[in-house]
Structure 1
Amino acid sequence: MTQPFQLAACAEMLWKDQPVAWRAARLTEMGFGVGLWNWPEWDLTALEKTGANITIMNGYLEGRLADKDGADRLLASARDAAQIGKRLGADRLNLHGTGLGDGGIPIWQHDVTTGQMWLNAYDTLHRICDLAEDEGVVFTLENLNQLDHPGCPFGSTKDVLALVSSVNRPQLRINLDLYHTQIGEGDLIRWCEKCLPWVGEVQVADNPGRCEPGTGEIKYKAVARALSKMGYSGPVGLEAFAEGDEEDALEAFRAAFTL
Structure 2
Amino acid sequence: MKRRNFIQKTAMTSGAIAIGGNLAFGASDQTAVKHKFNLKYAPHLGMFKHHAGDDPIDQLNFMADQGFTAFEDNGMRTRTIELQERMAQTMKDRGLQMGVFVAHEIYWREPNLASGDKTKREEFLDYIKKSVDVAKRVNAKWMTVVPGHVDLRQQPGYQRAHVIESLKQASEILEPHNLVMVLEPLNFRNHPGLFLTDSPQAYEICKAVDSPSCKILFDIYHQQIQEGNLIPNMEASWDEIAYIQIGDNPGRKEPTTGEINYKNVFKWVHDKGFNGILGMEHGNSKPDQLGEQAVIDAYKEVDSFL
- TM-score calculated relative to the size of structure 1: 0.87
Give a deviation string over 1:206-226, Cα, whole Å, max 9, x none: 001110000001111111122
Give a deviation string over 1:104-158, Cα, whole Å, max 9, x none: xxxx454686211101111111111101013331111111111111111112222
Using the alignment, how far apart are the partners of 2:266 and 2:155 within structure 1?
33
User: Would the alpha carbon gap of residues 110 and 184 (structure 1) be closer, same or farther in structure 2, given more than 3 Å must change?
Assistant: farther
Which one has a larger percent strand, Structure 1 or Structure 2? Answer: 1
SS at match of 1:71: helix
Which AA in structure 1 matches 2:296?
L
User: Would the alpha carbon gap of residues 90 and 254 (structure 1) be closer, same or farther in structure 2, given more than 3 Å must change?
Assistant: farther
Quick one: which of 144, 147, 151 aligns to 2:193?
151
Structure 1 equivalent of residue 45 of structure 2: 11
Structure 1 equivalent of residue 89 of structure 2: 49
Contact 2:197 2:226 in 1 (8 A): no
Structure 2 equivalent of residue 70 of structure 1: 120
- Structure 1, 151-160 or 57-66: larger mean CA deviation: 57-66
Quick one: which of 44, 50, 60 aligns to 1:24?
60
Contact 2:141 2:179 in 1 (8 A): yes
Structure 2 equivalent of residue 97 of structure 1: 147
Contact 1:82 1:93 in 2 (8 A): no
Quick one: which of 251, 275, 292 aligns to 1:246?
292
**Which structure has the greater CA radius of gyration?**
2
Which AA in structure 1 matches 2:113?
L
- Structure 1, 54-63 or 198-207: larger mean CA deviation: 54-63
- Structure 1, 155-164 or 11-20: larger mean CA deviation: 11-20
Structure 2, gaps ≥5 residues long: 1-35
Using the alignment, how far apart are the partners of 1:186 and 1:237 within structure 2?
19
Count of aligned pairs between the two proteins: 250
SS at match of 1:123: helix
**Residues 188-227 of structure 1 mapped to structure 2, 5 A cutoff:** 188-227=230-269
User: Would the alpha carbon gap of residues 169 and 151 (structure 1) be closer, same or farther in structure 2, given more than 3 Å must change?
Assistant: same
Structure 1 equivalent of residue 102 of structure 2: 58
Alpha-carbon offset, residue 70 of structure 1: 2.1
Alpha-carbon offset, residue 237 of structure 1: 1.8
Percent identity, please. 23
Contact 2:42 2:71 in 1 (8 A): yes
SS at match of 2:101: strand
Alpha-carbon offset, residue 14 of structure 1: 4.9
Structure 2 equivalent of residue 105 of structure 1: none
Larger relative contact order (C-alpha < 8 A, sep ≥ 6)? 1
Contact 1:144 1:157 in 2 (8 A): no
**Residues 225-240 of structure 1 mapped to structure 2, 5 A cutoff:** 225-240=267-282
Structure 1, gaps ≥5 residues long: 99-107
**Aligned residues: CA RMSD:** 2.4
Which one has a larger percent helix, Structure 1 or Structure 2? Answer: 2
- TM-score calculated relative to the size of structure 2: 0.74
User: Would the alpha carbon gap of residues 257 and 162 (structure 1) be closer, same or farther in structure 2, given more than 3 Å must change?
Assistant: farther
Give a deviation string over 1:193-249, Cα, whole Å, max 9, x none: 012101111111100111000000111111112223334342222111111222320
SS at match of 2:144: strand
Using the alignment, how far apart are the partners of 1:228 and 1:44 within structure 2?
31
